[in-house]
Structure 1
């Protein structure tokens, strides 16, 4: 459903969910970091799906940037949660609707693995993302994501936006797999308490308890020292 066609109550519902999703990220994660540029204009964003947070990360970033977008969702999930029809979603069973969104200049987020998978290597990709990008004549952008618990109290989310690839199944799988492997290697080898090198903070979240307490450390030291 196009935004201009929404009734006021449905626009209010959408706005409320935008606030809810953004609040969930800010309170549940230490932050969201990105590497690479979010493409302008219509494109298919093809991302791995290895975390519960994946369905929030890109939609919140796209919404905050003012970019019109749609998220491709399986028909069973839409039947389970009918209000999804009033959010920025499009059923995987309605590819023509997805093509119309791309034709309007919107970004389309697709999880080509087709299901939530355990963290690890990229799974087999379904052909929908490639088909949509080819049919619409738009860029196909691999997006690698990881949500990891490292040296702080709350998990950190990292997104790598790759360069657009030709809409071919093998090219997408190779580019997305390489970006994911690059990201995993950085997680494995980088200092645990510092953000991954080369990434920019896109959305701040919650600081760890020791970070929040650090601002009081000097004052407490003076207080305790002064009372000795």
Structure 2
């Protein structure tokens, strides 16, 4: 009830009036039953616009940091995340990854829609990066279709490092569901998981025509971190 109220009465009308989001391929989202919506990831706002523009409730697996902030800003962020269907997860790896998988399977087990970013993190430069195989494992274990989604211009209104969005128009393109039933029962085969993941990333690249880089986005961020730190230090020293 809280989700419905916030989406259709409070947040939804305000966000739609300000940003005028557009959508292509809405009918490709299954009208019923569980499915995974696999999206490129340009901005934290991706998790806001997509749920608001489809006709069914959906949940995103979001990093737990968004739910643990202090003060008024932390409270507002937490309420906003809950209102848009976010589910907190620990993304530190190891057991946390297994817990995230189980959380996603619970959502799909209820017959609901689950949103996942196969790149694992936001793109640092607008390119589409190599997908993580956790998405494939979840899709095969739950035996659900994967719907490719491309977010458009969300990185322009709210790029990494910006906490307040610029005013601008954003959109999303939803492709036809991908059926991986031919691989059911093979979710423990790492070669199958990589093949399924790569097929999803190819579908995303064709749908959005983003430049593709066959490396993990997190690797690119890690490589850039020392240079960014040095630049900030030099700027302060100057």
Range class of TM-score, shorter chain: 0.5 to 0.7
Decide whether the 8 Å contact of 1:44 with 1:138 is kept in 2: yes
- Structure 1 residue 103 displacement after superposition: 1.0
Decide whether the 8 Å contact of 2:29 with 2:147 is kept in 1: no
Unmatched 5+ residue regions in structure 1? 1-10, 183-228
Q: Which residue is equivalent to 1:177?
A: 205
Matches within 5 A, 1:37-186: 37-40=28-31, 41-62=33-54, 65=55, 67-80=56-69, 81-83=77-79, 84=81, 88-93=85-90, 94-118=100-124, 120-147=126-153, 154-166=168-180, 168-181=196-209
- Structure 1 residue 52 displacement after superposition: 4.3
Decide whether the 8 Å contact of 1:165 with 1:171 is kept in 2: no
Decide whether the 8 Å contact of 2:57 with 2:113 is kept in 1: yes
Structure 1 Cα separation of the partners of residues 2 and 53 of structure 2: 19
What per-residue deviation string (whole Å, max 9, x for no partner) do you get for residues 56-104 of structure 1? 2221123xx2x24211111222333544457622233432222111011
| TM-score, with length taken from structure 1 | 0.61
Structure 2 Cα separation of the partners of residues 82 and 25 of structure 1: 17
What SS class does the counterpart of residue 72 from structure 1 fall into?
A: strand
Q: Which residue is equivalent to 2:12?
A: 22
What SS class does the counterpart of residue 46 from structure 1 fall into?
A: strand
| TM-score, with length taken from structure 2 | 0.59
- Structure 1 residue 106 displacement after superposition: 0.1
Decide whether the 8 Å contact of 2:35 with 2:147 is kept in 1: yes
What SS class does the counterpart of residue 27 from structure 1 fall into?
A: helix
Decide whether the 8 Å contact of 2:6 with 2:12 is kept in 1: no
Evaluate the alpha carbon distance shift between residue 111 and residue 24 of structure 1 in structure 2; reply closer, same or farther with a 3 A threshold: farther
Unmatched 5+ residue regions in structure 2? 70-76, 91-99, 157-166, 181-192, 211-238
Decide whether the 8 Å contact of 1:46 with 1:109 is kept in 2: yes
Decide whether the 8 Å contact of 1:162 with 1:175 is kept in 2: no
Deviates more, 1:49-58 or 1:37-46: 49-58
Structure 2 Cα separation of the partners of residues 52 and 75 of structure 1: 13
Structure 1 Cα separation of the partners of residues 111 and 87 of structure 2: 15
Decide whether the 8 Å contact of 1:48 with 1:122 is kept in 2: yes
Evaluate the alpha carbon distance shift between residue 82 and residue 43 of structure 1 in structure 2; reply closer, same or farther with a 3 A threshold: same
What SS class does the counterpart of residue 136 from structure 2 fall into?
A: helix
For the aligned residue pairs, the C-alpha RMSD in angstroms reads: 3.0
